[in-house]
């Protein structure tokens, strides 16, 4: 299932070889691990997904909301997630027939528990102890990528635009890359030079997944089938889109701390009865509309929009996005040679390579940091 893409960025070092990217998104659906070879062009060698045990997923979702005895729960979860990330890496290497000694480093995003760029002081927290991952895999681990950017006045997110620039930018073609995970973000790749821009547009899958869990006991609305069975409620859609996040100028980032079920319920409490399927249809419509709105504002005239992340598998969402962007081609990043499901995991393999190379991993124009910086720390297995 390997694929090779054009690699634009110039590196100061010749450190190439095999790197692993491993992450779990804000929807907490599972752990994705990707083995990537840089020669220096990135090639996806193998992939592996490890589902969270149900009790771990429940605890992580609970930890994402302020509650009781958080310090003890956080400490246990940090180690537990680290062990599960190590299992995901080990499973990936077994599938690929590779030994730990063949891997230069693992790039671990971890599991986000809080992302509070609007607090004073701002902070972000990802768990999954890299000491545990390094000790249990025998591989050096690069992790904690977001906090250096925040220390430099940035939002700590989104980080994937730097990778998008490296692999998807092409002279003469203005492109927008849309990453739809729990939160959606866009990367604007100018075709005629100029700085790359990017930011979080708002909810991706997070509200649709949360509503589906609450109403149906299912982790997600597969292919948007439930949303497609409902009807968009226009007053609710208008109320959701009126949130002031959508009018803020970039750089900006957000998370499920803001766009939560409690946020949705506050809006529902002002409405009459709305069928659950209609709420789901409205949430999907909001995701598509707010992504399209930001593209229209930030990249008016762009003719190519490429989508990656879990949302790319949601057929109803992809159709809604295309309907909102009628003047642009809307397609998956597969058309550019990178499997839409694995772009983000590949990005963290790339960030591990950047860390090993002591090369910058952030784009200040997207995060708002005062300067480019080497992101993350390096945890050695020995």
Domain ranges of the chain: 17-156+341-379, 160-336
Minimum mean pLDDT range among 79-83, 172-176, 299-303, 356-360: 299-303
The two structure tokens encoding residue 101:
């000694």
Cβ neighbours of residue 325 closer than 8 Å, sequence gap 6 or more? 292, 295, 296, 305
β-bridge mates for residue 43, sequence order: 4, 37
Alpha-carbon distance of 236 to 247, in angstroms, equals 18
Determine the distance from the C-alpha atom of residue 283 to the mean position of all C-alpha atoms in its chain, rounded to a whole number: 19
Mean pLDDT of 186-199: 93
DSSP conformational letter for 326:
T
Q: Which of 5, 1, 37, 2 is nearest to 337 (CA)?
A: 5
Cβ neighbours of residue 313 closer than 8 Å, sequence gap 6 or more? 223, 340, 341
Tell me which fold the domain 17-156+341-379 belongs to: Nucleotidyltransferase; domain 5 (3.30.420)
SS3 15: coil
In sign, the C-alpha dihedral spanning 292, 297, 302, 305 is: negative
Alpha-carbon distance of 197 to 64, in angstroms, equals 28
Alpha-carbon distance of 60 to 298, in angstroms, equals 34
**pLDDT at 367 (0 to 100):** 97
Q: Are strands 17-24 and 103-116 parallel, antiparallel or unpaired?
A: parallel
Going by pLDDT thresholds of 50, 70 and 90, the confidence category of residue 66 is confident
156 Ramachandran zone, left/alpha/beta (phi>0; psi -120 to 50) = left
Alpha-carbon distance of 64 to 358, in angstroms, equals 32
Mean pLDDT of 234-240: 98
Alpha-carbon distance of 109 to 240, in angstroms, equals 30
Q: Tell me the per-residue pLDDT of 8-35, one tens digit each, with 9 for 90 and over.
A: 333 344 579 999 999 998 888 899 999 9
**pLDDT at 14 (0 to 100):** 56
Mean pLDDT of 129-137: 98
Name the average pLDDT for the chain: 94
Identical fold at 17-156+341-379 and 160-336? yes
Alpha-carbon distance of 199 to 157, in angstroms, equals 7
Q: Tell me the per-residue pLDDT of 271-305, one tens digit each, with 9 for 90 and over.
A: 999 999 999 999 999 999 999 999 999 998 899 99
Alpha-carbon distance of 79 to 35, in angstroms, equals 23
Q: Tell me the per-residue pLDDT of 150-178, one tens digit each, with 9 for 90 and over.
A: 999 999 999 999 999 999 999 999 999 99
Yes or no: say if 89 and 133 are a contact pair by the CB < 8 Å rule: yes
Q: What is the pTM of this model?
A: 0.92
Angle in degrees, CA 307, 255, 320, rounded to 5: 35
Mean pLDDT of 114-125: 95
Tell me which fold the domain 160-336 belongs to: Nucleotidyltransferase; domain 5 (3.30.420)
> Above 60 in pLDDT, residue 43?
yes
> Above 50 in pLDDT, residue 7?
no
Alpha-carbon distance of 186 to 158, in angstroms, equals 9
Yes or no: say if 283 and 239 are a contact pair by the CB < 8 Å rule: no
Cβ neighbours of residue 196 closer than 8 Å, sequence gap 6 or more? 161, 162, 164, 165, 169, 187, 188, 189, 190, 363, 365, 366
The two structure tokens encoding residue 171:
């002279």
DSSP element (H, E) containing 377: strand 377-379
DSSP 226-289: HHHHS---HHHHHHHHT-GGGGSPSS----TTTSSHHHHHHHHTTS----HHHHHHHHHHHHHH
> Above 60 in pLDDT, residue 310?
yes
Mean pLDDT of 182-203: 95
**pLDDT at 122 (0 to 100):** 96
Q: What is the dihedral of CA 282, 284, 289, 291, to 10 degrees?
A: 150
Higher per-residue confidence, 201 vs 4:
201
Alpha-carbon distance of 306 to 167, in angstroms, equals 13
DSSP conformational letter for 170:
B
């Amino acid at each position: 299932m390997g694929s090779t893409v054009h690699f634009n960025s110039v590196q100061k070092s010749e450190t190439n070889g095999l790197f692993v990217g491993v992450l779990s998104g804000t929807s907490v659906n599972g752990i994705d691990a990707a083995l990537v070879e840089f020669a220096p062009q990135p090639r996806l060698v193998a992939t592996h997904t490890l589902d969270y045990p149900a009790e771990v997923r429940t605890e992580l979702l609970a930890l994402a909301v302020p509650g009781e005895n958080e310090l003890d729960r956080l400490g246990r979860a940090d180690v537990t997630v680290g062990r599960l990330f190590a299992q995901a890496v080990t499973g990936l290497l077994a599938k690929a027939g590779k030994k730990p000694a063949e891997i230069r480093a693992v790039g671990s995003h971890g599991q986000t528990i809080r992302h509070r760029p609007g607090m004073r002081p701002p902070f972000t927290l990802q768990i999954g102890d890299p000491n545990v991952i390094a000790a249990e895999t025998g591989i050096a681990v690069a992790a904690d990528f977001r906090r250096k950017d925040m220390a430099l006045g940035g939002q700590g997110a989104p980080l994937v635009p730097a990778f998008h620039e490296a692999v998807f930018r092409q002279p003469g073609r203005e492109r927008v890359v849309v990453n739809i995970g729990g939160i959606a973000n866009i990367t604007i790749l100018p075709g005629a030079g100029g700085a790359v821009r990017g930011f979080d547009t708002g909810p991706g899958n997070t509200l649709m997944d949360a509503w589906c869990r609450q109403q149906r006991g299912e982790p997600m609305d597969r292919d948007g089938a439930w949303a497609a069975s409902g009807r968009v409620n226009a007053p609710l859609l208008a109320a959701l889109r009126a949130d002031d996040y959508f009018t803020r100028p970039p750089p900006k980032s957000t998370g499920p701390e803001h766009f939560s079920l409690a946020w949705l319920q506050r809006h529902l409490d002002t409405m009459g009865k709305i069928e659950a399927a209609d709420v789901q249809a409205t949430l999907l419509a909001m995701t598509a509309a707010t992504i399209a709105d930001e593209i229209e504002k930030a990249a008016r005239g762009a003719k190519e929009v490429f989508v990656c992340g879990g949302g790319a598998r949601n057929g109803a969402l992809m159709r809604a996005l295309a309907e909102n962007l009628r003047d642009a081609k809307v397609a998956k990043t597969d058309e550019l040679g990178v499997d839409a499901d694995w772009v983000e995991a590949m990005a963290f393999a790339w960030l591990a390579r950047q860390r090993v190379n002591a090369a910058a991993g952030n784009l200040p124009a997207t995060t708002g940091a005062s300067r480019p910086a080497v992101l993350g720390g390096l945890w050695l297995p020995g």
